[in-house]
Amino acid sequence: MEATYDRIGSNYQAARLADSRIFEALQTQLCSAQSVLNIGAGTGSYEPPGRNVVALEPSSVMIAQRPESASPVVQGYAEALPFRDNAFDVAMGVLTLHHWNDWERGLAEAARVAGGSVVLLTWIGFVQHFWLADYFPEIEELDNTRFPSIEDYQMVLGEIEVIEVPIPQDCTDGFMCAYWQRPNAYLDPQVRNSISTFAMMSNQTPALGRLEDDLATGRWHQKYGELLSYTSYDYGYRIIKSSGPIGHRNSR
């Protein structure tokens, strides 16, 4: 079972820097948890300081990019977590479920090892139109098939809290919608190579040509220039939080 970022993650750390505002939003939802499992941890950019964190990551390419100061990492998959029941105060994950082979099983595993306490940053679909889909219309279809819905999370986790995460205009974490106000960025192959959806597209050249031409002629600004007046925008990113019972952890 090949990890996605074994194929596309060689320059991930350069383009996917933790955004401080998203980081703080996640920190807030972790509350007082002291032991944290970070599933699909990647290079560890969102791992909370001052807590006992264990990272789980399937990709050896990503693990190799983790700094020496990062939390200890176990190579493995969300669908078969190598930890006992209730081993952690909370399980977290940041934009990772769409890479899992079986998100339902992975969510159940996350709840199992954390007594039902799970905090996830994910995407629930475009709640407002994203202009990039006018150039790459397959984006929405590709991602809608990979990301669970709110109802899917409820089915596995039970009662959940859903927290809106607006994307700042200068977001430093280069995921799909991060450059909504910086359209030229999508012309950069390093940016696209760090966004897994682009790796699923067979021929990007025509769409990139149209985007480049619209930017050069001013058509992009004519069509989408209103966005430049916003400091953040809601493109469907959400924190999903489920809370397990108080005192769920077994004694060690």
Q: Which pLDDT tens digit goes with each residue over 198-231?
A: 988 989 999 999 999 999 999 999 999 999 999 9
Q: Which pLDDT tens digit goes with each residue over 71-94?
A: 999 999 999 999 999 999 999 999
Question: Residue 94 phi/psi, 5° resolution?
Answer: -120, 110
Element (H, E) at 168: strand 167-168
CB 148 within 8 A of CB 97: yes
At residue 63 the predicted structure's pLDDT band, cuts being 50, 70 and 90, is very high
Supply the pLDDT for residue 145.
87
Q: Which residues contact 228 (CB under 8 A, 6 or more apart)?
A: 181, 221
Question: What structural domains and CATH numbers belong to the chain?
Answer: 4-242 (3.40.50.150)
Supply the pLDDT for residue 249.
44
CA 113 to chain centre: 21
In this prediction, residues 237-249 reach a mean pLDDT of 75
Rg value, the chain, Cα: 18
- What's 116-162 look like in SS3? CCEEEEEECCCCCCCHHHHCCCHHHHHHHCCCCCHHHHHHHHCCCEE
What count of other Cβ atoms lies within 10 Å of the Cβ of residue 219?
A: 13
At residue 141 the predicted structure's pLDDT band, cuts being 50, 70 and 90, is confident
